[in-house]
């Protein structure tokens, strides 16, 4: 960020590194209202502001999560929400020294002129929203650009990849200017029946294009985190083992992700909780990586939590949360024993 002061740059670098230090990772709890609604419906809980608050507040109050989590991503509704006593729902996180982040994008829309592909919206007024979140205690933001492998790799098209990279660059520059660490999230989705080689080729292209755009926008790479997919076969493609996923993934990142970037935090993308932990662990068993490799899971953490909670059982749900966070933290250090 050529336009920012040395102090501002130092603060961004400090935030980004603190989120991934000592095996820490991120809990993604920023599902949009329809997505969290579908998850709550799965346990017969109605999708109201109150039930969303109850579920998320329960997770944020879990004793000891600060040991495993450096950050939590919130939906803007939750970031602004207060409990019946007037305390902010994110207060337990801030009290535990966990960095609070907000999902800054405003979802996706069909991109006319593309082959049925999506683009991410939310750049208008982003700087104002970022400035307000910063004032209210946020340390970072996230912005997801989903890209789908279809038609044997014909899509994601160069248009969709280029567009995703460009808006990621704009978003990252704006959030850094407002003092927030941007989590840049190009996501080559798990959907499809492709093999791991096609995922690897497309992931490398997407990451290379993304970092070129960050460079054009003068983004300080030391002050961001990359959130992205692991290199895997499509959900319906030919299966491979965790060691293969780890080797292919690490090779793809070494080819495309600057060594100056502090950490890659993975989305779980539909992997089972144990697969997500095991794959992360295998990657961390490979020596010599310049960046931290950690987690930013939603489904792979919250799946077992929702199941234990059922709208009422706080203690078992918090136990399930701590368990997944602890195991993923071990995996972020290559110390998960299965």
Active site residue 227: yes
Which x/- pattern over 3-32 shows residues binding ligand 13P (rule: CB under 6 A)?
Answer: -------------------------x----
CB neighbourhood size of 320 (10 A): 23
Q: Specify the residue, 143 or 336, whose C-beta has the smaller distance to ligand 13P.
A: 143
Site residues (CB under 6 A) for ligand 13P, limited to 266-295? 267-269
Q: Specify the residue, 104 or 308, whose C-beta has the smaller distance to ligand 13P.
A: 104
Q: Binding to ligand 13P by residue 298, rule CB under 6 A?
A: yes
CA–CA dist 246, 13 (Å, integer)? 27
Cβ atoms of 336 and 274 within 8 Å: the answer is no
Closest approach, Cβ 31 to ligand 13P, in A, equals 8
Which x/- pattern over 70-109 shows residues binding ligand 13P (rule: CB under 6 A)?
Answer: ----------------------------------------
CA–CA dist 187, 197 (Å, integer)? 16
Stretch that binds ligand 13P, among 43-51, 82-90, 265-273, 284-292 (CB under 6 A): 265-273
Site residues (CB under 6 A) for ligand 13P, limited to 138-197? 144, 185
Within 121-188, residue ranges assigned H as helices are 126-135, 158-177
| Residue with token string 């997505």 | 35
Closest approach, Cβ 58 to ligand 13P, in A, equals 18
Closest approach, Cβ 144 to ligand 13P, in A, equals 4
Q: CA separation (Å) from 48 to 32, 45, 160?
A: 12, 9, 34
State the maximum Cα–Cα separation within the chain, in Å, rounded to a whole number.
54
**Nearest C-alpha neighbor of 123 from the set 109, 136, 137, 112:** 109
CB neighbourhood size of 34 (10 A): 9
CA–CA dist 27, 302 (Å, integer)? 9
Handedness of CA 12, 97, 336, 236 (dihedral sign): negative
Under rule CB under 6 A, how many of the chain's residues touch ligand 13P?
10
**Nearest C-alpha neighbor of 71 from the set 117, 137, 146:** 137
Closest approach, Cβ 149 to ligand 13P, in A, equals 16
Q: Specify the residue, 178 or 185, whose C-beta has the smaller distance to ligand 13P.
A: 185
Q: Specify the residue, 206 or 300, whose C-beta has the smaller distance to ligand 13P.
A: 300
Q: CA separation (Å) from 240 to 29, 244, 284, 292, 295?
A: 29, 6, 18, 24, 21
Stretch that binds ligand 13P, among 5-13, 161-169, 264-272, 314-322 (CB under 6 A): 264-272
- At residue 201, what are phi and psi to the nearest 5 degrees? -60, -45
Closest approach, Cβ 172 to ligand 13P, in A, equals 16
Q: CA separation (Å) from 267 to 42, 85, 296?
A: 21, 34, 5
Closest approach, Cβ 271 to ligand 13P, in A, equals 8
Stretch that binds ligand 13P, among 53-61, 94-102, 246-254, 261-269 (CB under 6 A): 261-269
Which of residues 171, 297, 309, 336 is near ligand 13P by CB under 6 A? Answer: 297
> Catalytic residue among 103, 227, 248, 292, which?
227
Closest approach, Cβ 74 to ligand 13P, in A, equals 11
Residues classed as catalytic: 227
Task: List contacts with ligand 13P (CB under 6 A).
Answer: 28, 144, 185, 267-269, 297-300
């Amino acid at each position: 960020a050529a336009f920012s002061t040395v102090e501002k740059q130092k603060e961004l670098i400090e935030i980004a590194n603190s989120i991934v230090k000592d095996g820490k990772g991120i809990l993604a709890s920023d599902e949009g209202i329809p997505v969290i609604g579908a998850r709550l419906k799965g346990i017969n809980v109605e999708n109201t502001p109150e039930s969303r608050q109850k579920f998320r507040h329960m997770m944020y109050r879990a004793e000891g999560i600060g040991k495993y989590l450096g950050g939590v991503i919130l939906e803007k509704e939750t970031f602004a929400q207060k409990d019946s006593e007037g305390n902010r729902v994110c207060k337990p996180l801030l009290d535990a020294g966990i960095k609070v982040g907000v999902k800054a994008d405003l979802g996706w829309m069909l991109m006319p002129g593309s082959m049925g592909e999506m683009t991410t919206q939310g750049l208008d007024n982003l700087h104002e929203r970022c400035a307000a979140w910063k004032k209210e205690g946020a340390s970072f933001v996230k912005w997801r650009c989903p890209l789908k492998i279809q038609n044997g790799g014909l899509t994601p098209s160069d248009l969709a990849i280029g567009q995703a990279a460009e808006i990621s660059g704009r978003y990252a520059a704006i959030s850094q200017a407002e003092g927030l660490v941007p989590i840049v999230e190009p996501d080559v989705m798990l959907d499809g029946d492709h093999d791991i080689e096609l995922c690897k080729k497309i992931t490398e292209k997407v990451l290379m294009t993304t970092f070129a755009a960050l460079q054009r926008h003068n983004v300080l790479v030391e002050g961001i985190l990359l959130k992205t997919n692991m290199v895997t076969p499509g959900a319906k493609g030919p299966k491979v083992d965790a060691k293969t996923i780890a080797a292919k993934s690490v090779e793809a990142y070494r080819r495309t992700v600057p060594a100056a970037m502090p950490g890659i935090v993975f989305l779980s993308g539909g992997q089972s909780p144990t697969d997500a932990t095991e794959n992360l662990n295998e990657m961390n068993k490979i020596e010599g990586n310049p960046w931290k490799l950690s987690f930013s899971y939603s489904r792979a953490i919250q799946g077992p939590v929702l199941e234990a909670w059922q709208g009422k059982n706080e203690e078992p749900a918090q136990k399930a949360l701590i368990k997944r966070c602890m195991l993923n933290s071990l995996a972020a250090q290559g110390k998960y024993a299965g």
